Amino acid sequence: MSLSPSPADDPRTLVSTEWLGHHLKDPDLRILDASWYMPGTPRDARAEYEAAHIPGARFFDIDEISDHRSDLPHMAPPVEKFMARLRAMGVGDGHQVVIYDGSGIFSAARVWWLFRLMGKTDVAVLDGGFPKWQAEGREVEDLPPVIRDRHMTVTRQNHLLRDVTQVSHAAKLGQAVVIDARSPARFTGEASEPRPGLRSGHIPGARNVPFGAVLKPDGTMRDPAALRRVFEGAGVDLSKPAITSCGSGVTAAVLSLALERIGHRDWSLYDGSWAEWGMYEDLPVETGPARP
């Protein structure tokens, strides 16, 4: 098996299993298992981590490392909580962080975005995630990592996050393009939302790029040229700022990662996403396909 990293590897966005295999013993590498599954999915992310994970990986609990003052699911945590939890995992300044999940590229991108939000740029998602790592017969273990405390400093990058008021204003004035990562049936309103009490449909003027559209059949991310075609084919005006959205702010980050990969850096993520927008009766909702 070749351990040569791919020329497409970028330790600030996406790295291959070859890259990680090559750097696995680096002293300043920290690996996080950020697996998370939709409610009702018959998988237990922490139990899977405890049974087998990439050597040295720590478990990042998306639901726990969040803002528990909010009624919305897994909203971005306060800076102090993020710093405390990461220090407790032995992750801090000067570390190169690689994040993976048990689906391929799904929830890992959410944690990549959280690190970016906290001003950390030496962080990448593992392309293809744990499924690809295991399929290649690479080393796994079930041992807890040895933790050594490392100081962490954080400089929150508020331009990477949008709240409901900011999204409403931008959508109404056409100042940014909202890109929705949910399935076409949820976007058009044909399918009910998995969370009770939410209306169906999408933010007026939004474009639909289901997060799976930016992935290849093997679960790895498409190359930048193909990613650009996906966005443009969905009617996304890449000359405008982008706001990514989804059901609860998880798969929106897959689109954010894809935008970063094509060099479109004027993006932000709507953290409340449809879990928030669909809850408020006074916010406008469109159904059917995206308007021309």
Q: Assess whether the region 14-156 and the region 159-277 belong to the same CATH fold.
A: yes
**Dist. CA 89–CA 60, nearest whole Å:** 9
pLDDT range class, residue 7, cuts 50, 70, 90: low
Q: Which amino acid is at 161?
A: L
Residue 116's pLDDT is 98
**Dist. CA 278–CA 193, nearest whole Å:** 9
| Structure letter (DSSP) for residue 3 | -
pLDDT range class, residue 32, cuts 50, 70, 90: very high
Closest by Cα among 118, 116, 123 to 96: 123
End-to-end CA distance of the chain: 48
Closest by Cα among 171, 198, 166 to 182: 198
CA 84, 89, 94, 99 torsion-angle sign:
negative
Q: Which amino acid is at 44?
A: D
**Dist. CA 14–CA 290, nearest whole Å:** 30
> Cα 196–198–199 angle (5° rounding)?
135
The dihedral region occupied by 213, where left means phi > 0, alpha psi between -120 and 50, and beta the remainder, is: alpha
Helix (H, G, I), strand (E, B) or coil at 6: coil
Residue ranges of alpha helices (H) inside 32-161 are 45-51, 79-88, 108-117, 129-135
pLDDT tens digits for range 142-173: 999 999 889 999 999 999 999 999 999 999 99
User: What is the Rg, in whole angstroms, of the alpha carbon atoms belonging to the chain?
Assistant: 18
Strand ranges of the sheet holding 29-33, from the earlier edge strand across to the other edge? 14-15, 123-126, 96-100, 29-33, 58-59
pLDDT range class, residue 6, cuts 50, 70, 90: low
- What is the distance, to the nearest Å, from the Cα of residue 164 to the centroid of all Cα atoms in its chain? 19
- What is the distance, to the nearest Å, from the Cα of residue 58 to the centroid of all Cα atoms in its chain? 17
Q: Which tokens go with 242?
A: 């982008």
- What is the distance, to the nearest Å, from the Cα of residue 199 to the centroid of all Cα atoms in its chain? 24
Contacts of residue 139, defined as CB under 8 A and 6 or more positions apart, other chains included, come to 24, 54, 55
Protein fold of 14-156: Oxidized Rhodanese; domain 1 (3.40.250)
Q: What is the dihedral of CA 50, 52, 53, 54, to 10 degrees?
A: 150
Closest by Cα among 171, 235, 242 to 208: 235
pLDDT tens digits for range 173-224: 999 999 999 999 999 999 999 888 899 999 999 999 999 999 999 999 999 9
**Active site residue ranges:** 246
Q: Give domain limits for the chain.
A: 14-156, 159-277
CATH superfamily label, 159-277: Rhodanese-like domain (3.40.250.10)
Q: Which residues pair with 215 in a beta bridge?
A: 221
Average pLDDT across the chain, whole number: 95
